[in-house]
Amino acid sequence: MTKVIIGKDCSNSPKKQFLQKLSVAFTEVDADYLLDIIAEEIRWNIIGEKIIQGKADFTEALVQLKKCEVEELTILHALSHGKGGSVHGTKKMNYGELIAYCDVYEFTGAKFSKLNEITSFVVQSK
């Protein structure tokens, strides 16, 4: 089980709470939850790595992601506006590496709707 640390300003609205839950779901690879909230045409751009297009490719990416165990997730900021949002923080991997990340999300609408697009920035931190 991943230890989760949430920044003090990340929970002051329902949308921010949803974004932090989404970040935890990605970290723990909660495939059932994630597959339920994504749009059929999901597009996930992992900058400098690859672009994942469609629910089938997304499902395969989750299988690969499951191989990477995260020991500790720290969510520093969660921001939302309209049909977009972002989460940034760090992930300490079980083999000791520290990764800084920022995920930018776009939904199909402003209310709690399907996740349509993700842009992920991931860098090794020191």
Judged against a pLDDT cut of 70, whether residue 10 lies above it is answered with no
Q: Is the per-residue pLDDT at 112 higher than 90?
A: no
How many residues would you count in the chain?
A: 126
Q: State the Cα–Cα distance between residues 24 and 94, nearest whole angstrom.
A: 16
Q: Which domains are present in the chain?
A: 3-125 (3.10.450.50)
- The 3-state DSSP composition of the chain as helix, strand, coil percent (nearest 5) reads 25, 50, 25
* Mean pLDDT, range 16-24, rounded to an integer: 92
For 30, 115, 118, the CA distances from 37, given in Å and listed in that order, are 11, 6, 13
pLDDT at 109: 87
26-58 residue pLDDT tens: 999 999 999 999 999 999 999 999 999 999 999
84 vs 126, higher pLDDT: 84
pLDDT, tens only, 53-91: 999 999 999 999 988 899 999 999 999 998 999 999 999
Written as one string, the DSSP assignment of 49-110 is TEEEESHHHHHHHHHHHTTS-EEEEEEEEEEEETTEEEEEEEEEETTS-EEEEEEEEEESSS
User: Is it the case that residue 111 has pLDDT exceeding 90?
Assistant: no
Q: Using CA atoms, how far apart are residues 21 and 34, in angstroms rounded to an integer?
A: 10
Both structure tokens of 32: 């059932």
pLDDT band at residue 25 using 50, 70 and 90 as cut-offs: very high
Residue 6's pLDDT is what?
A: 92
